[in-house]
Chain A
Amino acid sequence: MSTATQNLSGAPAAEERLSPSEREERAMSEFAHHFGAYTATNLESCIHCGMCADACHFYIATEDPKYTPILKAEPFKQAYRRESGAFAPFYKLLGLKKKVTVDELEEWQELLFDSCSQCGRCSLICPMGIEVAEMIEIGRRGMAAAGLAPKALMDRARHQAETGQPEESEKPYPEVLREIGKEHDLEVKLDKDKADILVCLPRTDLDQNPESVAAMIKIFDRLGADYTFRSDALIAENYGYYAGSRGLQKRITSRITDAAKKLGASLVIVPECGHAYTALRWQAAEILGERLPFRVRHVTEFLAEQLEAGKLKLSKVNGDTFAFHDPCQLVRKGGIMDAPRQLMDAMDVDLREMHNKKGFSFCCGGGGGVNDLESAKDLRNRAQTMKLREIDDTGAKRFLTSCSDCRVSFNEAGENQDWNKKTESLIELVATQIKE
């Protein structure tokens, strides 16, 4: 089965041995976990107006109706109607709502993973106020429970839960971090026993953007912050969230929350990574079932606070015009509306806004694990083309964002389409402009 997953040792994962009926049962019991008044109201409200399609970059880029957002949530919707809706016994008795079958789940894999970056734009357009993106997310959770999440995501999630990093790397990431520090002549605060702030890093930056990692170290040093990185809780991304696995997401989240508790930290900093922010800021407490004894802030949010407190001083950038991409998880879904613009204002950045900006910004095309799916390449490319055109339409010379996953997506799109811009990190710009 193409969708099967394997465990670390290469032996078939437990999910691979599941029979079709076991898969159906597992999906159903995961769906049942999410049946509640809130989700039920969402599922009951759809008027089939089709407007959500007009918000989704995957539909707009392809005009293929199968990418209509609410259709992606169909297995969950169907399960609810049959098992838990007001007339469920009646529907069941008369056979009016069919059981969600394994074939259907397999058919939906592409719709739930390849063609949804969990960007949340569809939730903004729905005239009924349905939280469409969350319904799709629950669909993913059912798929993961049934062992039908894409292997590329599941393998990484499992690896990250076991080892702390999603994949084997040439060198362990703490070592990579030390080397980056050495190269940039910066002292790396790693594995302190006590610190007020725990800082995490995107794996993508450790792999591909060492300058961004150096920028983080430089900024926290300049601020004189009492912070540390931790080898056991270094990576910010949460592949359990991408894969839709509650169990793995919880284990990966616990790595960071446990480390922060041990440190006695009052603050955990999420670096430039949108989904890491959602996973830690909005889902960690929910998935762990407890209030967190520390605050969670995105690095731009933290820096904007420092700016307001007069602790961060920035010099002005000269001349160039900039466009800025609002990462979906930070802005639309995360509520960080102003922080990046406060930082840009402080640097006197000549910002040329896109037509769809802030909460309405189009996704980079690669969020929600879509960047990791080879099967999604063509589709994300089409969505990216649309986005690049919108960036170009601003007339800006340079292009900034504050999410490493978005950068991966834009870099891929840039290469494919011979784009004349480089995607720069806002944090790197802050590090360049930070005053002594």
Chain B
Amino acid sequence: MTLLEFSRGPMLHFALFVFVFAVLWRLISTFMLGWRKRKSEWRTTSGSSAVKGAIAVGNRSWPHPEFLERTAFGEAVGYGYHIGLFAIILLGAPHVIFWKNLFGISATWWPTIPSGIIHVISVVTIFLLLIATIRRYMHPPLRRISNFDDWFTLVILFGLMISGVMAVFGLGGRYEIILAVHIISFNVLLIWFPFSKLMHAFYILPARFFIGYTHAKKGAST
């Protein structure tokens, strides 16, 4: 079995198994911890608070203008690489083929972005990730609260992005090896995901909903 076959065969399946099982485990064990029934006299009904909670899920994506002056740069960089990553993963032609094969679907409707544009997006995304990393190191509060989770996640992302760009541009040696490194990085990301801050991709929905819901019950700011 070649390295490439291993990376997209048994290793990928193992990584997917860990990913699915551990993500579910982490989410379920969080929500199984129990809910306290609150007894205060609320300002709104549960129904309208739930609507406010749902609104908060969307609203929190856009910072309040009061904070923008201090946070605009960090947010722009954060948004930038998130959008870049999503575009590459979901709309880059090689990735679309990978997903279709993995899930065994034909999905002729699935759009792709022309490869020239994806190349530009990839380079810009690496650049933004680099800025985010430098900022994490230079910005005092960020540096103070950063831990292994933050740095290791960045290392994996860089590995994934750089090996992807190298594979596309035919840099750094045999294509099969570079591609295998790229897929291995992806597998490592999948395995690391449930144990790391990457879980924010799932927690973002309930966390935002809860703050919107509980604040609405008090009539407090969201």
Q: Which residues on the A side are within 8 Å of B78 (C-beta)?
A: 49
Q: Which residues on the A side are within 8 Å of B61 (C-beta)?
A: 127
The chain A residue sitting closest to B221, CB to CB, is A359
Q: Does B100 contact A (CB under 8 A)?
A: no
Q: Does A334 contact B (CB under 8 A)?
A: yes
Contact status A45-B204, CB under 8 Å: yes
> In whole angstroms, how far apart are the Cα atoms of A206 and B75 in the complex?
47
> In whole angstroms, how far apart are the Cα atoms of A71 and B141 in the complex?
9
User: Min CB distance, B136 to chain A, in Å?
Assistant: 8
> In whole angstroms, how far apart are the Cα atoms of A63 and B139 in the complex?
10
A:280-304 near B, CB below 8 Å? 281-286, 289-292, 295-296
Q: A41-B207, A51-B71, A123-B211 are in contact. Are A65 and B218 (CB under 8 A)?
A: no
Contact status B195-A282, CB under 8 Å: no
Tally of chain B residues near chain A (CB < 8 A) = 59
> In whole angstroms, how far apart are the Cα atoms of A292 and B38 in the complex?
12
Contact status A335-B34, CB under 8 Å: no
> In whole angstroms, how far apart are the Cα atoms of A40 and B30 in the complex?
6
Q: A37-B30, A41-B30 are in contact. Are A295 and B41 (CB under 8 A)?
A: yes
Checking B29, B36, B141 against A36 with a beta-carbon cut-off of 8 angstroms, the contacting residue is B36
Q: Which residues on the A side are within 8 Å of B197 (C-beta)?
A: 46-48
Contact status B39-A128, CB under 8 Å: no
Q: A38-B210, A332-B221 are in contact. Are A54 and B40 (CB under 8 A)?
A: no
**Interface size bucket, A side?**
35 or more
Per-residue contact bits, chain B 65-83, to A (CB 8 Å; 1 contact, 0 not): 0110011001100100000
> In whole angstroms, how far apart are the Cα atoms of A65 and B150 in the complex?
17
Q: Does A333 contact B (CB under 8 A)?
A: yes
Contact status B203-A128, CB under 8 Å: yes
Contact status B30-A86, CB under 8 Å: yes
Q: Does A124 contact B (CB under 8 A)?
A: yes
The chain A residue sitting closest to B132, CB to CB, is A49
Contact status B34-A131, CB under 8 Å: no
Q: Does A184 contact B (CB under 8 A)?
A: no
Q: A84-B33, A124-B221 are in contact. Are A285 and B200 (CB under 8 A)?
A: no
Contact status B33-A68, CB under 8 Å: no
Q: Does A235 contact B (CB under 8 A)?
A: no
Q: Which residues on the A side are within 8 Å of B215 (C-beta)?
A: 335
The chain B residue sitting closest to A332, CB to CB, is B221
User: Min CB distance, B148 to chain A, in Å?
Assistant: 9
The chain A residue sitting closest to B43, CB to CB, is A335
User: Min CB distance, B60 to chain A, in Å?
Assistant: 5
Contact status A86-B29, CB under 8 Å: yes
Q: Which residues on the A side are within 8 Å of B75 (C-beta)?
A: 51, 127
Checking A40, A128, A289 against B200 with a beta-carbon cut-off of 8 angstroms, the contacting residue is A128
User: Min CB distance, B38 to chain A, in Å?
Assistant: 6
Q: Which residues on the A side are within 8 Å of B57 (C-beta)?
A: 129
Q: Which residues on the A side are within 8 Å of B207 (C-beta)?
A: 41-42, 45, 128-130
Per-residue contact bits, chain B 1-36, to A (CB 8 Å; 1 contact, 0 not): 000000000000000000000000110011111111
Top 3 nearest A-B pairs (CB, nearest first) are A335-B219, A359-B221, A129-B208
Question: 20 more A-B contacts (CB under 8 A) besides A48-B146, A68-B141, A285-B38?
Answer: A46-B197, A49-B74, A49-B142, A65-B145, A68-B144, A71-B141, A123-B211, A124-B64, A127-B61, A128-B203, A128-B204, A129-B56, A129-B212, A130-B211, A131-B210, A296-B41, A331-B221, A336-B219, A337-B221, A355-B66
